[in-house]
A and B are shown apart, each in its own frame.
Chain A
């Protein structure tokens, strides 16, 4: 069954996006990439040091689409500058906008994110904004030319799962864009649930990077995302409060 996710004109067969932060060593990255089957990987431009002999980029397999993120940005202007810098240094034209003004919980600033989306989309970037799941903000990002939106399941790095479930549901129902759940997912079952709800994909970092065996966890997420997607496509059966008879009780009336 071919069921690609199309973003920025690219067809992706894997709906699992992964990150490069928090690993105990960069040499784990190729192994995790392999086990996850992922095709898109985020990298924080602030951590990229071309002069270092352990440059993070050199650990990412060539087949991957790089998704530089603007982590560290506190304003739309900073995000825009980081994105342009990433492009200028040859990291491609995809960008995950992260504008965070709240260092206590690391919650994204939707207003600044909308502004950055407008600017970067108009410059031809494939823009994926990380956001708090708020419908009107998401609609404005869509209008501004985002290629997908990336609402959080719960605050970054918390592994708390889909605490924003109801809001994600609304975003998935209302937007014409892919909704990729980013941040908060801690378990494969939660990734599966997001996919069952109709999310187009999930992005994960902490859950894999901080697992005892990151490679094995990556492959668990690969399976979970695929299973959740299949369930969504298959159409989940309705949940009934009382037992439903399998043949209609009022069929005789026809």
Chain B
């Protein structure tokens, strides 16, 4: 079993004209319901709901503030290594691109950690490309050991691992897993992942569940928006999140809404996700998953980020570089271009001006006392 079966069932239904059959009345009825089901989710993602964004936003804001309060959790990503054996059509780290690759040495990890910790941030997300040779589990563990001296919480965004490997990393002090399916539409997935182990659709889809079983406190999933029809992709993401929430109630499930960004290569996504569509997705996630964290990255421009903080987002990255060693070293290649280059301080100031409290530390991994 696993989410794959649900995804297959959804696939059979979701490509038909399901979206067209709903009306504004359906949306308004859904907004009055206490517990939303799969049909409600479809309604919220339908064209009919696109005309009710204001009503949806009001409900979403209320839900967000009651469940999360007036706070926004901040974190920053740290790129450890850009070696990668895959060829994904949308990424600068893809093995077909020729640029000097690097991975951080323990000293460099420490140096980066110090620089980031000095901004006040206590939650960090570490990233690597996929290379069992250059950035194996043992290397990640070694880095985590250093990072734990500086951060309350360390999460990983690396290639899918086995349940045992996840357990090993959890033991080493990792408490969160982020893993995007990129694209749920299986055929498109096969088209975009041309070479390397990432081609195996199902291995990726089952990985968040392996993370839940391994005991991570938080598991964060998402679709890279723009690769396929966004309504369908958002439906799958939210259903995947609900599946994990139902099956692993002890794990905090979060969703992200990354939109495609320019990178080294030529690929341009066919399915443009407008700002309006992005808003509809965020609102639908919040209403369908009232307690799930929603992460917004610096892929989005600052002006838009400043608006989205009132619509359901609960976590934001700040002070971001998508290069290996981007906080202290020179000359890296960014994985993709970011849009919001503001520092942690600037983001905090913006949040405060909007009556939100930036939270730098929301959790501590407990050592025995």
Residue positions of A touching B, CB distance < 8 A: 21-26, 45-47, 49, 52-53, 72, 74, 78, 81-82, 84-85, 88, 101-106, 157-159, 206, 209-210
Q: Which of A46, A49, A72, A103 has the most CB of B within 10 A?
A: A103
- Partner of A102 from the list B65, B250, B352, B355 (CB cut-off 8 Å) is B250
Report the separation of the CA atoms of residues A25 and B349 in the bound assembly, to the nearest whole angstrom: 12
- Partner of A47 from the list B65, B120, B355, B359 (CB cut-off 8 Å) is B359
Residues from chain B with a CB closer than 8 A to the CB of A106 are: 291
Is B360 in contact with chain A by the CB < 8 A criterion?
yes
Between-chain CB contacts (< 8 Å), 11 pairs: A21-B71, A22-B65, A22-B68, A25-B357, A72-B364, A74-B217, A81-B366, A81-B368, A102-B249, A103-B249, A103-B252
Report the separation of the CA atoms of residues A72 and B217 in the bound assembly, to the nearest whole angstrom: 9
Is B296 in contact with chain A by the CB < 8 A criterion?
no
Residues from chain B with a CB closer than 8 A to the CB of A85 are: 366, 369
Report the separation of the CA atoms of residues A88 and B368 in the bound assembly, to the nearest whole angstrom: 13
Is B267 in contact with chain A by the CB < 8 A criterion?
no
Residues from chain B with a CB closer than 8 A to the CB of A46 are: 361-364
Is B106 in contact with chain A by the CB < 8 A criterion?
no
User: Quick one: closest B residue to A159, CB to CB?
Assistant: B66
Tell whether, in the assembled complex, residue A52 and residue B361 are in contact, meaning their CB atoms are under 8 Å apart: yes
Residues from chain A with a CB closer than 8 A to the CB of B71 are: 21-24
Report the separation of the CA atoms of residues A85 and B367 in the bound assembly, to the nearest whole angstrom: 10
Is B94 in contact with chain A by the CB < 8 A criterion?
no
Tell whether, in the assembled complex, residue B357 and residue A52 are in contact, meaning their CB atoms are under 8 Å apart: no
| Shortest beta-carbon distance from B283 to chain A in Å | 19
Is B245 in contact with chain A by the CB < 8 A criterion?
yes
- Partner of B357 from the list A26, A88, A104 (CB cut-off 8 Å) is A26
User: Quick one: closest B residue to A72, CB to CB?
Assistant: B363
**Besides A74-B250, A81-B368, A104-B246, 6 new A-B residue pairs in contact (Cβ under 8 A), listed by A number:** A22-B70, A45-B364, A47-B362, A52-B361, A53-B120, A103-B249
Decide: A81 near B369, CB < 8 A? Known: A103-B249, A103-B251, A104-B291: yes
| Shortest beta-carbon distance from A243 to chain B in Å | 39
Tell whether, in the assembled complex, residue A103 and residue B360 are in contact, meaning their CB atoms are under 8 Å apart: no
Residues from chain B with a CB closer than 8 A to the CB of A52 are: 120, 360-361
Tell whether, in the assembled complex, residue B69 and residue A22 are in contact, meaning their CB atoms are under 8 Å apart: yes
Tell whether, in the assembled complex, residue B249 and residue A101 are in contact, meaning their CB atoms are under 8 Å apart: yes
Tell whether, in the assembled complex, residue B69 and residue A209 are in contact, meaning their CB atoms are under 8 Å apart: yes
Tell whether, in the assembled complex, residue B369 and residue A84 are in contact, meaning their CB atoms are under 8 Å apart: yes
Residues from chain A with a CB closer than 8 A to the CB of B245 are: 103-104
Is B207 in contact with chain A by the CB < 8 A criterion?
no
User: Quick one: closest A residue to B122, CB to CB?
Assistant: A49
| Shortest beta-carbon distance from A186 to chain B in Å | 9
- Partner of A88 from the list B122, B217, B355, B369 (CB cut-off 8 Å) is B369
Tell whether, in the assembled complex, residue B360 and residue A49 are in contact, meaning their CB atoms are under 8 Å apart: yes
Is B356 in contact with chain A by the CB < 8 A criterion?
yes
Decide: A103 near B361, CB < 8 A? Known: A24-B355, A74-B250, A84-B369: no
Is B67 in contact with chain A by the CB < 8 A criterion?
yes
User: Quick one: closest B residue to A19, CB to CB?
Assistant: B69
Report the separation of the CA atoms of residues A210 and B64 in the bound assembly, to the nearest whole angstrom: 10
Tell whether, in the assembled complex, residue B250 and residue A101 are in contact, meaning their CB atoms are under 8 Å apart: yes
User: Quick one: closest A residue to B69, CB to CB?
Assistant: A22
Tell whether, in the assembled complex, residue A24 and residue B357 are in contact, meaning their CB atoms are under 8 Å apart: yes
- Partner of B253 from the list A102, A103, A158, A210 (CB cut-off 8 Å) is A103
Decide: A23 near B252, CB < 8 A? Known: A49-B122, A81-B369: no
Question: Top 5 closest A-B pairs, CB basis?
Answer: A22-B69, A24-B70, A24-B355, A49-B361, A102-B249
- Partner of A82 from the list B68, B217, B366 (CB cut-off 8 Å) is B366
| Shortest beta-carbon distance from B68 to chain A in Å | 7
User: Quick one: closest B residue to A48, CB to CB?
Assistant: B361
User: Quick one: closest A residue to B245, CB to CB?
Assistant: A104
Tell whether, in the assembled complex, residue A21 and residue B69 are in contact, meaning their CB atoms are under 8 Å apart: yes
Report the separation of the CA atoms of residues A21 and B73 in the bound assembly, to the nearest whole angstrom: 13
Q: Which of A72, A78, A88 has the most CB of B within 10 A?
A: A72
Residues from chain B with a CB closer than 8 A to the CB of A53 are: 120
Report the separation of the CA atoms of residues A188 and B152 in the bound assembly, to the nearest whole angstrom: 37
Tell whether, in the assembled complex, residue A105 and residue B366 are in contact, meaning their CB atoms are under 8 Å apart: no
| Shortest beta-carbon distance from B323 to chain A in Å | 27
Tell whether, in the assembled complex, residue B69 and residue A210 are in contact, meaning their CB atoms are under 8 Å apart: yes
Residues from chain B with a CB closer than 8 A to the CB of A49 are: 122, 152, 360-361
Tell whether, in the assembled complex, residue A157 and residue B252 are in contact, meaning their CB atoms are under 8 Å apart: no
Decide: A210 near B251, CB < 8 A? Known: A49-B361, A72-B363: no
Report the separation of the CA atoms of residues A101 and B250 in the bound assembly, to the nearest whole angstrom: 4
Residues from chain B with a CB closer than 8 A to the CB of A22 are: 65, 68-71
Residues from chain A with a CB closer than 8 A to the CB of B355 are: 24-25
| Shortest beta-carbon distance from B365 to chain A in Å | 10
Residues from chain B with a CB closer than 8 A to the CB of A103 are: 245, 249-253, 291
